[in-house]
Amino acid sequence: MDNFAQAGVVENVTCPACGLLCDDLTVERDAASNLKVSSNACQKSVVFFNRASQSSSPRINGKPADLAAAIAKAAEILGNAKHPLFSGLGTEVQGMRAVMSVADKSCAVVDHMNSNGFMRNIQVIQNSGWQVTTLTEVKNRVDLLVVVGTDIVTNFPRFFEREVWNKESMFGQDTATREVVYLGGRNINTAPGVSPDGRQPDVLPCDIDRLPDVTAALRALVLGKKLYATEVGGIATSELEKLAERLKNAKYSVVTWAAGAVNVPHAELTIQNITEMVKSLNKTTRSSGLPLGGLEGEMNANQVSAWISGYPMRTSYARGYPEHDPYHFSTDALLASGETDALFWISSLNPDRLAPKVELPTVVFGHPDMKLEQEPDVFIPVAVPGIDHKGIAFRSDNVVSLPLAQLRNSALPRLGDVLSAIEQAL
C-alpha cells in the first residue's frame, strides 16, 4: 500500500487536465504533499498537479460549517426545489454516477458546463451519423491531417507530440513525412504542426464565421462539383481544389475539429459538412473524422448519462423518467427562463470554472482552490480526482477509459460520497 504521507515519485500518472488523458507523466511528491510534474509535462498538467495542497472547509452563507451541516443544508435546498439543475459536472466517472442517482431521486436536470459545444457533435450523430477514428489510429495511420478552426494545442497541448510526430508507429510509417493543413481560424499557433524535419504546415486562414462557407465548398469539391467563385471566405478556390485532391489521394486522412471552437450560428451544420465529406472520401480511400473534447470531464458526464438514462447530457428527470431536450434542458436556457429553482454546480477538476451568477439557491461542490466571486448558499470543497483520490476518466475519442491515481492524502471528501449522503438525507 502506498504511503502518501511520505515523499515519493509516481510514474505513469494519468493527467485529466485535458481530453488526451496523457498517461506517461512522472509526478514527485514532497514531505508536505505538494506535487510537481517532473517529466512529460505540458502547461495544463503543470497547473493541474503543481497547485499546493489546500485546506478548505465547507461554508453555509459564507460562514464556516462542518461537513454534516453543509450536507444537511444542501439536502434541504434540494428537497425544497421543484425543478433543480445539476450543472458544471466537472468530475470523473464515479462522481457522475452519483450525480445521476441523486438527479433521478430529486427529479432534476443534468447538463455539463461545456455542452454548448459538445451538443453540436451530438446533433450531427443523431441526424446523420459519422465515421470517426481514435487517437491510437491517428498515431499509427494518418498521413494527412486537416485541422479545422482550431490550433488544437491551446486545449490539447501534447496532441502533435503524442499523436502526429510520434517516433514510432505500429506499421513502420515514417511519421516525419506526415502532412498537416490548418483550415480556418486566424492568429492560431501553427508551430506544433511543423514536421520534425522542418517542413512548414499549410495554412489556409479564414474568419471562424466563414467556416460554414469554406467547409461546404471543400465538401463540394471533394464530390467533384465545380465552383465558379474565385475565393471562398478569403481562401482562393484554387487552394481549396488542391486540398480536395490531397484528401482524395491520401491513404489515411484525418479531419479534426474542436466543437467548442466552432462557435458560429448553426455550427452543427458546419460539422456535418466535415463528417459528410469524410463519408464521401471513403468511397475511394480511407478517411476519418476526429472530434476533440473532454475538457472538465465532459466525456465522463456524457458517457455516464448515456448508459444510465439512455440519453446524452441535457436530460431531465422532472417527469419521473429521463427525457432529453437539447434546447430546453440547457443550463443557459433554464437559467434565462427561470424554469429552474435551484442550482447545484460541480467543478472538482478546475477551480476556475465558476458557477453562473444567479439569484437562486445555489450549492457548489468545488475544487479546494476555487475562488468564488459570489458566495453560494452552500460551498462544499471536494477532493480532486487524479490527485486526492482514484477515479476513472474517458479520453477525448470516447473509446478508452483510463484510471486516475491517488497521489497524496486528503481530508476532503469525494464528490460521490457527498452526493450519496445528500441523496440519503432527502
221: CATH: 3.40.228.10
Q: Which residues of 188-213 are buried (b: 16+ CB within 10 A; e: fewer)?
A: bebebbebeeeeebbbbbbebebbbb
Whether residue 164 is found in the same domain as residue 225: yes
Q: Is 44 helix (H, G, I), strand (E, B) or coil?
A: helix
pLDDT tens digits for the chain (426 residues)? 477 878 999 999 999 999 999 999 999 999 989 999 999 999 999 999 998 676 789 999 999 999 999 999 999 999 999 999 999 999 999 999 999 999 999 999 999 999 999 999 999 999 999 999 999 999 999 999 999 999 999 999 999 999 999 998 998 899 999 999 999 999 999 999 999 999 999 999 999 999 999 999 999 999 999 999 999 999 999 999 999 999 999 999 999 999 999 999 999 999 999 999 999 999 999 999 999 999 999 999 999 999 999 999 999 999 999 999 999 999 999 999 999 999 999 999 999 999 999 999 999 999 999 999 899 999 999 999 999 999 999 999 999 999 999 999 999 999 999 999 999 999
What single string gives the DSSP state of each residue in 115-140? HHHHHHHHHHHHHH---B--HHHHHH
pTM of the model: 0.95
| Domain final residue, candidates 292, 324, 355 | 292
Please identify, among 268, 292, 316, the residue that sits at the C-terminal boundary of a domain: 292
90 shares its domain with 138: no
One domain, residues 196 and 250: yes
C-alpha separations of 94 from 271, 279, 342, 420 in Å: 31, 36, 23, 11
What is the residue range of 185's domain?
118-292
* 152 and 258 Cβ atoms separated by less than 8 Å: yes
Single out the residue in 238, 262, 292 at which a domain terminates.
292
> Do 325 and 184 lie in a common domain?
no
Residues 125 and 103 in one domain: no
In a domain, 358, yes or no: yes
Q: How many domains does the chain have?
A: 2
* DSSP H helices in 286-379: 298-309, 331-337
